[in-house]
Structure 1
Amino acid sequence: MKRVLNVPGIAYGGDYNPEQWPEEVWAEDMRLMREAGVTMVSVGIFSWALLEPAEGEYDFSRMDRILALLQENGIAADLATPTAAPPAWFFRAHPEALPVDRDGRRLSYGSRQTFCPSSPAYRRAALRITRALADRYADHPAVAMWHVHNEYGCHNAECYCDTSAAAFRVWLRNRYEDLAALNHAWGTTFWSQWYYDWDEILPPRATGAVPNPTHQLDWRRFCSDELLSLCTAERDVLREAAPSIPATTNFMVMQNFDALDYWRWAPELDVVSNDHYLMSTDPESEIDIALSGDLMRSLAGGPWLLMEHSTGAVNWQPVNRAKRPGELRRNALAHVARGADGIAYFQWRAAKAGAEQWHSAMLPHTGTDSQIWQDVVRLGADLQALSEVRGSTGTAEVAIVWDWNARWALELPSQPNGELRFQDLVRDWYEPLWRAGIAVDFVRPDADLSSYRLVLAPNLYLVDDTGAANLTAFARRGGTLAVGFHSGAVDENCHVRLGGYPGAFREALGVRSDELFPLLPEETVGLTGEVAPDATGTLWSERVRTEGAQVVASYTDGPLTGRPAVTRHTFGEGTTWYLATRPDPATLGSLLDRIRSEAGVAPVRTTPDGIEAVLRRGPDADYLFLIDHTGRGAEVSVSAAATELLTGKPAEDGSVTVPAGGVAVVREPRE
């Protein structure tokens, strides 16, 4: 059954927590929400203690009044199950439900997500409050969507208690069926780790040396699946009560959060949504917004919702900086450009008390006499002007391979280079494409690749036989495949693929390496060949021998002087590339420009430097988003039949003005 969000246009709002305020404030909230153009708010996310003041005793009177008020004012409710923050009475009754860290310390309640994901007591309590909520509000006209939990795994992705250990063993039995298969997969003949009884297996708790890598990898898989089972259990209760109301939960695909395999999560949800916050230390956070948006659109298979971001500063970084002038608007519309059909913030009204009192909000501490409020109202009008963009899709001919299993495995201890970070390596390759205005999707290794001209695997350290065969077949059939160093090295059990590196991709790439030479921090190696004279590589090098590939660049110094660093190979009907080092940004950008040009991939639109161009495709028109990151503005050529939606002005002269530091959104009808 297809369940869709029944909120017109681009949904707009944020987390609404009226329980934090006297009831006389609520009427003002409604008036200001209407002024700002708010159409949907998330309610009840952290309200468990108020909804269920004692076990099995419910008080829905406050929520009844909140939902009635929203209905009267034409604002839809994304009604949350409050299970991310169990109340104190629950933990007094069930102290065993508190999580235990890797060092064996049992943590206390007093914040949020202070529960063990495997706790039977927690599951019973969570499903009980979910069922009570669903039964009461399944037919409420204000409820447009269920919000399951909040940011699963944000603080408790892993619990190492005995209950979790028992659940881990059940998961392992389902995966391997017998101990012989597990012992083989984990390579337990090493270090006398062989298991003769399932009860001997523990979580990878703190130990004297390096834990078994496959043990650690399976633990990450288990932790993701255990939280997913909680999510789907709550979802099923909600669907039983209200079969037509869509359900979502908010992902966190960036901020270095890597606890959950969202490829497994996304198909379980009716609406895929995300929380995204800028890092103050990132000088070009607009690239992170774009990467995150492309990944979310790919997970969703189309439009998605931005469930949380900030109007200004957050409260959880070492230094929490406010946004620059125009940044609130640029950030929000950049998410829409990448497929967001809803824009929401944490939170509606800035808190005066509690752990997030210094987190920005749509209505700041200063009130309406503030720049943030002016920007929030303007953004509401912008989103209303973009209503017709809803439901339009992306247009990418380039795919980047993203896999959480590969990420987890790469960042385990005892790698040849401990500085390898999956997300950094992906961003290295994504950034030049972003600067060139190339549309990008993200894919699993086993995805259908038939719609792409070019597939990039910046790092795919772990890949199973199915994924490797799929990527190889893509090139053989005529596609272009580019692979980064230390890819194809291990199978799904973290077993090294023997015979030389890069393992699963040797034949397709036409190369073979017999020794790895990772580089020290700050160490570089020179590159020569079809690259700039000052080209360098960092982080990694390896002793490559060509087996059919042609050399594009070689090392000029170090122990590998004269050896290939970048190669190109004709494979079947297609072309493959291998980058055996981490080229400097300019060199990598130049290589990727060549690779995508040879593959026949063109930019979305030719624009002046610093003007981001993104395209969403509707049934009858294309929507071209133009975002200025220079502060200077620019003129961009468009169709003579185009209309700029934010101003309503036609582009009669075949061009549109992108304001300094601003955004233009152009509708271009298709014949």
Structure 2
Amino acid sequence: MARALIPAAVIALLVGWLVMPSWAAPPDQFSEYQVIMWQEHTPAEVAGLAKVGFTATKLRGTGGKIDPVELEQRQASGLPWYVENIVTDFLSPYHRYTPGKPNTWLFDDAKARRRADPTDISIFERQPGLSDPEWLSAVKARLMNVVRSQSRYRPLFYNLADEAGIGDLAAAWDADISPTSLSAMRQWLRTQYPDLEALNRQWDTDFGSWEDVAPELTDAAVRRADDNFSGWADFKAWMDVAFARAVRAGTDAVHEADPVALAGLEGGQTPGWGGYDYSLLAPAVDVLEIYDHGDAVELARAFNPGLIQLRTTFGQGLREHHAAWRHLLLGGRGMIVWDERNDVVQPDGQPGPRGRDIAQLVSAMRVVSPELMAAAPSPDAVAVLYSHASFRTGWILEQRARGTNWSDRDAAREYEDNAWRASRRQILGRLREIAVEPRLLSSRMVEGGALRQDGLRVLVLPHAIALSQSEVDEIVAFARRGGLVLADADPGTFDQHSRRRSLPPLAGVAELPEVMIRTGGHSSPEALASLASLLRSAGVEPRADLRGPDGLPATGIEAHWLGREDATILALQTRSPWSAPGQIQIRLLKPAAIEDLRNKGPKERKQQFSLALDPISPTVLKIVE
């Protein structure tokens, strides 16, 4: 069947190219910083949007259906579009628009049923199941039909769903225990354990066959006193795999229908529950619009370097400008504008207050966006581990006191801070404050030998309380080669299945210096100096020394190092608006030709210089040695 489909897709592409309107997006749509309008607007208003810098709109594709009148309006508007929410009913059933009902009505109903009868576990059968072959087949057919009908217009991308998740967004939930999910889970478990006996040893169970294997649900896990959560944790890990596989199946369908098309998701949530293990999710799509919480943007870029990242803007003003600039420095390639108040353009197409604000911001960003978007992160020899197993383990330990009330938590509660996120946020922030570009590694990357590559000298383990034996072995070997291992708590006290070990496996290997202890506040100059000294002891010299007017390490700054074949880019921005001193002193490791990409002027060769750091927008320096 695939051989029959490919020629048809190619023919459709060729025909579409021949009839492609002059306004259609070029094949490399994201070579330019995109500004996309989400809400509907009149033709006069759309013309006004183009004048203030907008490059695209959206076309609804809900349920795979495209309104021909709406399509005709998009064609007449003069701007390209992306296709919205094609399989939201599959990927976002618990959080999607339904006329006359709240977005979360299906999830609310399931929680109400649980309150009425806590023993009714049928509520954890996801509707629809992510591993249901009938749904997967129907979703594939729907996506391919939409893509084939749209390929001649070259949409920016095809959005599979908005605010997708296993349950409601990033809420904790015990879906999916449907028969198709459990059958697929058992097949996956066979790839995780050499045999059933090994699983029974790990879980402390006595299943007689693979068909008997059933997961432990959260109600039972929170009652455990033996600190062996393996049957629960493996189920949770499986659901992250199932969610990523379902998303990947959608992406594959888009690519099969049109090999040059892009598939994406909108509304990416904080790392945690709901399928938001970014080491699995980010590689499953081409485009991802993410809410920047829990370092999600940095994680997604690390695990899919070619990912096209977007952000949605809901407001205006200096704080919004700061967030937009930061997203660009972290690899962002565009913004989606949410215009619920209809204040971007007026009915006659003239810019409204917010339209003028966006125009000013985008105009400034596009001065440097070509250079930034053509560059890639230029990391130092410092790696930071992202351990999703540690998230699961920390969560179940915290929830034991709540007992079965864990399910009362909604998605918003899962955005509350925890040790896992706070530890990573602190070390990533401090590394950037001392002008060190970190390399984020997933557990799978470490297991695959990432610590043996790229000349790494330092490994940081932020709240890495759950590590596999393969991770432990790689970390021990890294330390024996002279690598420095830093942690803020005894790492690996649990294995990757959330079962407590009898002894800490990295005792005497991982150092726990004071600078790694979570403080919950802003960095002090002393803490930054201490961290820089630790890195130097391991052979990592920060490429720039940043000092405030008092001569001490400057705090409240984010430094981003990007590389191109001909140059290095150093971008400096306040961590938050007005968080850094206005005047800073910079000393590079060696003299270099410096060019300010935002304020064009003659290149100057120097090693030490001062600059006035804007409280909102970054300074972007091109450095050629």
Q: Under TM normalisation by the shorter chain, which class is it?
A: 0.7 to 0.9
Moved more, 130-139 or 489-498: 489-498
**Which structure shows the higher helix fraction?**
2
* Residue 155 (1) aligns with residue 172 (2): no
Residues of 2 paired with 1:396 and 1:39: CA distance?
Answer: 32
* Residue 661 (1) aligns with residue 622 (2): no
In the other structure, the counterpart of 1:263 is: 279
* Residue 275 (1) aligns with residue 259 (2): no
Select 2:318's aligned residue among 314, 326, 334.
326
Distance 1:135 1:304, change over 3 A: closer
Amino acid at match of 2:326: A
Residues of 1 paired with 2:291 and 2:98: CA distance?
Answer: 29
Pairwise CA distance, 1:456:
0.4
Distance 1:34 1:197, change over 3 A: closer
In the other structure, the counterpart of 1:380 is: 362
Contact kept? 2:345, 2:355, Cα under 8 Å: yes
Within-5 A mapping of 1:344-383? 344-347=335-338, 349-350=339-340, 371-383=353-365
* Residue 188 (1) aligns with residue 205 (2): yes
Distance 1:594 1:126, change over 3 A: same
Question: Larger RCO: Structure 1 or Structure 2 (Cα < 8 Å, ≥ 6 residues apart)?
Answer: 2
Contact kept? 1:293, 1:338, Cα under 8 Å: yes
In the other structure, the counterpart of 1:548 is: none
* Partner SS for 1:485: coil
1:205-244 per-position Cα deviation (integer Å, ceiling 9, x unaligned): 6459626611221221122122222212222221111012
* Residue 217 (1) aligns with residue 233 (2): yes
* Residue 339 (1) aligns with residue 339 (2): no
In the other structure, the counterpart of 2:430 is: 432
Amino acid at match of 1:441: R
* Partner SS for 1:143: coil
Select 1:16's aligned residue among 27, 30, 38.
38
Contact kept? 1:38, 1:380, Cα under 8 Å: no
* Residue 395 (1) aligns with residue 386 (2): no
Amino acid at match of 1:437: A
Contact kept? 1:98, 1:116, Cα under 8 Å: no
Pairwise CA distance, 1:37:
1.9
In the other structure, the counterpart of 1:237 is: 253
Residues of 2 paired with 1:415 and 1:208: CA distance?
Answer: 10
Within-5 A mapping of 1:245-324? 245-250=261-266, 252=268, 254=270, 259-269=275-285, 271=286, 273-277=288-292, 291-301=295-305, 304-312=307-315
Residues of 2 paired with 1:337 and 1:461: CA distance?
Answer: 31
Within-5 A mapping of 1:85-234? 85=89, 100=110, 103=118, 104=120, 115-118=128-131, 122-140=135-153, 142-153=154-165, 155=168, 160=174, 164-176=178-190, 179-188=196-205, 198-199=211-212, 201=214, 204=217, 206=219, 210=223, 213-234=229-250
TM-score using structure 2 length? 0.73
Distance 1:260 1:435, change over 3 A: same
TM-score using structure 1 length? 0.68
Residues of 2 paired with 1:208 and 1:295: CA distance?
Answer: 29
In the other structure, the counterpart of 2:16 is: none
Pairwise CA distance, 1:636:
5.6
Contact kept? 1:627, 1:664, Cα under 8 Å: yes
Contact kept? 2:463, 2:489, Cα under 8 Å: yes
In the other structure, the counterpart of 1:410 is: 394
Residues of 1 paired with 2:163 and 2:354: CA distance?
Answer: 25
Residues of 2 paired with 1:590 and 1:293: CA distance?
Answer: 27
Contact kept? 1:406, 1:460, Cα under 8 Å: yes
* Partner SS for 1:13: strand
Residues of 2 paired with 1:660 and 1:669: CA distance?
Answer: 20
Residues of 2 paired with 1:259 and 1:614: CA distance?
Answer: 29
Identity of aligned residues (%): 16
Residues of 2 paired with 1:459 and 1:429: CA distance?
Answer: 11
The root-mean-square deviation of aligned C-alpha atoms, in Å, is 4.2
* Partner SS for 1:508: coil
Amino acid at match of 1:345: I
Residues of 2 paired with 1:363 and 1:222: CA distance?
Answer: 46
* Partner SS for 1:506: coil
In the other structure, the counterpart of 2:23 is: none
* Partner SS for 1:459: coil
Contact kept? 1:604, 1:614, Cα under 8 Å: no
* Residue 634 (1) aligns with residue 583 (2): yes
Select 1:617's aligned residue among 563, 576, 579.
563
Contact kept? 1:485, 1:578, Cα under 8 Å: no
* Residue 645 (1) aligns with residue 584 (2): no
